[in-house]
Structure 1
Amino acid sequence: MLRALLLALAALALPAHAALELKPFSASYTADWKQVPVGGSAVRSLKAEADGRWQLNFEASMLVASLSEKSIFRFDNGTFLPQTYRFSRGGLGKGKQIELDFDWNEKQIIGSERGNQIRMPLNRGIQDRSTYQLALQHDVAAGKKSMSYQVIDGDEIETYDFRVLGEEVVETKAGLVDAIKVERVRDPTQSARKTVLWFAKDWDYLLVRLQQVEKDGKEYQIMLQDGTVDGKPVKGRSE
């Protein structure tokens, strides 16, 4: 159960810009599991490296569990090009480690997951489990209504589909925020899980809320606590 909440935290999506631009940001979130009094927190940040690459970091914790995720990528002509991906989870029985390196010269993905070696062909457009979230934000900001991404998940390339549902006002600790509501599209005959996300229209489409319902009916909700985009604190309206 704790693992499910951490995985929900890991699904946090991030801000991007309709004008084919990335800016540094930091955002913190609180998480609630409605069935039991278990809470958690998470922080994501994006910063530019001196060599033109970007570093995307994620840290989540609750009770004795923790999770960390880091992606290094390049942004080239509107396309996110992963360079390295690292994932670590501990405190939930068996830990999990993922290491992936993206060799764009040799067109290969090389790495390991739980000690199992991974080697796969690399094509432009393939994302890791962090960079696809940036691609999603980029496309929502550009006004797209349906999106699809090829994401390396374990030793397979999975298709992640999303669609825009409309607009809603979300009440956060930073105030009321006008948001775009997006859902993950899954085949109901294959999965009963539901994931819905809300992105702030006036704050570079920063994620402000995420709601996830597991196949067993358990529900998790993640809400923005505070954040900054390009050094500016996120502030909603009071009414």
Structure 2
Amino acid sequence: MAWLLLAGPAFTAAAQPQHALPESFEATYVLSMGPLSLAEMKRKLYKNEDGHYVFESYSKPIGYARWFTDSTLLEKTEWVYHEQHLRPLKYSYDRQSSDKERHVKLTFDWDKMRVTNTINNDPWSMDVPQGTLDKLLYHLAVMYDLERGDESLNYQVADGGTLKTYTFHKLAEETIETPLGRFKTVKLERPGSRDTILWCAKELNYLPVRIMQEEDGRKLVLKLKSIKGLPADTPNTTASIKP
């Protein structure tokens, strides 16, 4: 899919860079632990008025969890394509509740190869290597690299004031049942203090349709509830379910 508009009749589609991600989509997930639905997360990809891409994730408690918290989380990353890779420009993290707030902003200066990290209005900066991502954009980078057939899923991520390496290992290819139908998926694992497993659907540009995270014996599962703007081989993917 071409991502740049033709500047004039002298340009052809063949001369434009080709990318593997859709220009926009929207996906909604439900987070559960056992039989309990705890939160809803909505992720959107779109272009802003500057022509940059924005990927955002908004989470809020639902069901039983609303008795214990009113905390909401909004993450946004503004980014562009650079030499066929995803390059972050700005990242923001805003967690709000009735008793506590936390606000984080990252601004990338690629001329100086530095990122400025501002936490609750207290800024500082550090050097970053070429290809560094923020901790939301790497989710899109996994989709992007799988779609292009890239087997090396290693990412340098500016996270918590340090540079971390996130590595995904391919475990298997599985066809799984979801509330929106059956999907052929690539099963990935990111080991760590919280082991994370993703099932990325080939029919949906490798969007994760299920994410499982385990820590201290507790399993949290994120399941796709609805999607809009992504291709699919099955008509069931245009549906949605109630949590």
Q: TM-score range by the shorter chain?
A: 0.7 to 0.9
Q: 1:222 — aligned with what?
A: 222
What residue identity is the alignment partner of 2:218? Answer: K
Aligned pair in 2 of structure 1 residues 180, 230: CA closer, same or farther (>3 Å)? closer
User: Shift of the alpha carbon at 1:92?
Assistant: 8.0
Aligned pair in 2 of structure 1 residues 22, 51: CA closer, same or farther (>3 Å)? farther
1:109 aligns with 2:110: no
CA distance in 2, matches of 1:236, 1:161: 32
Aligned pair in 2 of structure 1 residues 38, 93: CA closer, same or farther (>3 Å)? farther
Q: 1:207 — aligned with what?
A: 208
Q: 1:15 — aligned with what?
A: none
TM score, norm. by length of structure 1: 0.81
CA distance in 1, matches of 2:196, 2:98: 23
Q: 2:146 — aligned with what?
A: 140
Structure showing greater radius of gyration is: 2
CA distance in 2, matches of 1:230, 1:207: 12
What residue identity is the alignment partner of 1:49? Answer: N
Asked if the contact 1:203–1:234 (Cα under 8 Å) also holds between the matched residues in 2, the reply is no
Asked if the contact 1:25–1:231 (Cα under 8 Å) also holds between the matched residues in 2, the reply is no
| Structure 1 residues 180-212: Cα deviation after superposition (integer angstroms, max 9, x where no partner) | 1111033xxxx3x21100111111111100001
Aligned pair in 2 of structure 1 residues 84, 43: CA closer, same or farther (>3 Å)? same
Identity %: 29
CA distance in 2, matches of 1:231, 1:169: 17
Aligned pair in 2 of structure 1 residues 89, 209: CA closer, same or farther (>3 Å)? same
User: Shift of the alpha carbon at 1:93?
Assistant: 5.1
CA distance in 2, matches of 1:235, 1:26: 17
1:27 aligns with 2:27: yes
What residue identity is the alignment partner of 2:203? Answer: D
CA distance in 2, matches of 1:94, 1:163: 36
Give the number of equivalent residue pairs: 212
Any gaps of 5 or more consecutive residues in structure 1? Answer: 1-18
**Residue in structure 1 matching 2:78, options 72, 85, 105:** 72
Q: 1:40 — aligned with what?
A: 39
Larger relative contact order (CA 8 Å, sep ≥ 6): 1
Q: 2:182 — aligned with what?
A: 176
CA distance in 2, matches of 1:93, 1:153: 24
User: Shift of the alpha carbon at 1:222?
Assistant: 0.6
**Residue in structure 2 matching 1:129, options 131, 135, 141:** 135
